[in-house]
Amino acid sequence: MTQESVSAVRLTEAQEDALARGLVARARSEGAELVGPEGLLSGLTKRVLQAAMEEELTDPEVGPVSVEVPGSGRHVRG
């Protein structure tokens, strides 16, 4: 994701607050935990990180990196 596209999807503080309040309200109405291993925050954090990593791996400007394994002469892509 380029800096321009990040700026294009940036939310205002008011939008972030509204989004957070909506997620908390929905979680509470469904009886879901907010924190903890199965909580809203844990699941949301996991999904955001996964989406960011997937985007980074498919971004032609960033793409996977090839690293030489020291002493082996092999390269690992990741």
Q: How far apart are CA 18 and CA 11, in angstroms?
A: 10
Q: How far apart are CA 78 and CA 59, in angstroms?
A: 13
pTM for the model stands at 0.53
Please provide the distance, in angstroms rounded to a whole number, between the alpha carbons at the two ends of the chain. 17
State the DSSP string of 27-46: HHHTT--SSSTTSHHHHHHH
* Residue pLDDT, tens place only, 18-66: 999 999 999 999 999 999 988 999 998 999 899 888 887 777 666 566 6
Please check the confidence at residue 78 and state whether its pLDDT lies above 60.
no
Domain span at residue 12? 3-77
pLDDT of residue 17: 94
Are 75 and 69 within 8 A, CB to CB? yes
**Total domains present in the chain:** 1
